[in-house]
């Protein structure tokens, strides 16, 4: 046999071996690099099997065996296409369960409780709730009570209402019921005694401020007849009735508070800035700032509309 014919037989055997190997190639080996070659391979495929038939074959909703590689009777190329489509098919999404609706507890807990301003919560101290229900926003015309509320409002620079109200009786005892005539006569001995009382926790400067303000009230009494006449005269003898719906609407100061603060400072009062004066006005009912859905809003308005007792 001639050398060319031998060479031809060897080449034919090699081609036959390569073709047999390609037919028996493992699908798992093909799938390893499938994501990289699949789009190009699909476009260049000469297979007679259409894309739609491949989809119906490999993505049938009734088929549960997604791992089988030998369940087709078609050509190896068709098997590869079906496998490719199966591998890239997005998994079925499970519907998320509907969120459970949790019923929120009512703000004030007990449905029988009257609705109060939002800053009164289930955790509010009883003394603070009582102050809200009985005092805050009620028009005050007594000089001693007005002096007490002015002094307590000044303490808000150091404490909150709850801390102040818990020591209210001690303050009344120390300052003789906030009688301005008596407090104005206090000397160094009384001032030192009150400021050194650990139960009241009042700085000496705060005690001196209350004493000095009592002296200023006496001057106002001589001019206006009473401290009440002076305060309500600044309000045109009727409170400001606000109708706020949310706590964020309630201001820290007002133009009226700024005007009263300016006049008090001119008269020698101390610790009577606009914010303190506005807190005093709220507590003494010079302005009614209960929220509109608070049960005390309408009650305080009814009290404010009664005939004025100071006239």
Ligand-binding annotation for 290, yes or no, is yes
Q: What are phi and psi of 241, to 5 degrees?
A: -105, 110
DSSP 287: E
Dmax (CA) for the chain in angstroms is: 146
Ligand-binding annotation for 108, yes or no, is no
Whether 239 and 304 have beta carbons less than 8 Å apart is answered as yes
According to DSSP, the residues that pair with 287 across neighbouring strands are 240
Ligand-binding annotation for 132, yes or no, is yes
Whether 206 and 174 have beta carbons less than 8 Å apart is answered as no
Helices vs strands, H then E, count in the chain: 16, 2
Ligand-binding annotation for 216, yes or no, is no
**Coil, helix or strand at residue 84:** helix
Query: Quick count: other Cβ atoms within 10 Å of Cβ 194?
Result: 21
Looking up tokens 């098919």 gives 89
Whether 289 and 136 have beta carbons less than 8 Å apart is answered as no
Binding residues: 117, 132, 290, 294
Binding residues for Zn(2+): 117, 132, 290, 294
């Amino acid at each position: 046999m001639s050398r060319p014919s031998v060479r031809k037989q060897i080449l034919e055997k090699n081609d036959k071996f390569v073709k047999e190997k390609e037919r028996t190639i493992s699908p798992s080996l093909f799938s390893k690099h499938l994501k990289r070659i699949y789009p190009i391979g699909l476009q260049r495929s000469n297979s007679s099997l259409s894309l739609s038939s491949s989809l119906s074959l490999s993505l049938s909703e009734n088929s549960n065996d997604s791992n089988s590689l030998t369940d087709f009777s078609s050509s190896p190329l068709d098997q590869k296409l079906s496998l490719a489509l199966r591998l890239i098919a997005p998994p079925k999404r499970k519907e998320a369960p509907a969120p459970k609706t949790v019923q929120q507890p009512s703000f004030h807990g007990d449905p029988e409780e009257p609705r109060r301003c939002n800053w009164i919560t289930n955790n509010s101290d009883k003394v603070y709730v009582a102050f809200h229900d009985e005092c805050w926003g009620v028009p005050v015309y007594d000089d001693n009570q007005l002096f007490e509320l002015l002094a307590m409002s000044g303490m808000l620079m150091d404490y909150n209402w709850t801390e102040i109200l818990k020591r209210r009786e001690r303050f009344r005892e120390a300052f003789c019921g906030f009688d301005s005539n008596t407090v104005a006569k206090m000397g160094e001995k009384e001032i030192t005694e009150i400021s050194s009382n650990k139960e009241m926790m009042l700085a000496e400067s705060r005690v001196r401020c209350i004493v000095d303000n009592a002296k200023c009230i006496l001057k106002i009494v001589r001019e206006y007849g009473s401290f009440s006449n002076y305060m309500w005269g600044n309000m045109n003898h009727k409170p400001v009735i606000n109708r706020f719906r949310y706590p964020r609407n309630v201001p820290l100061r007002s133009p009226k508070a700024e005007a009263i603060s300016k006049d008090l400072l001119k008269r020698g009062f101390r610790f009577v800035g606009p914010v303190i004066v506005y807190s005093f006005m709220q507590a003494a009912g010079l302005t009614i700032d209960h929220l509109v859905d608070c049960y005390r809003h309408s009650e305080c308005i009814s009290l404010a509309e009664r005939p004025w007792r100071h006239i």
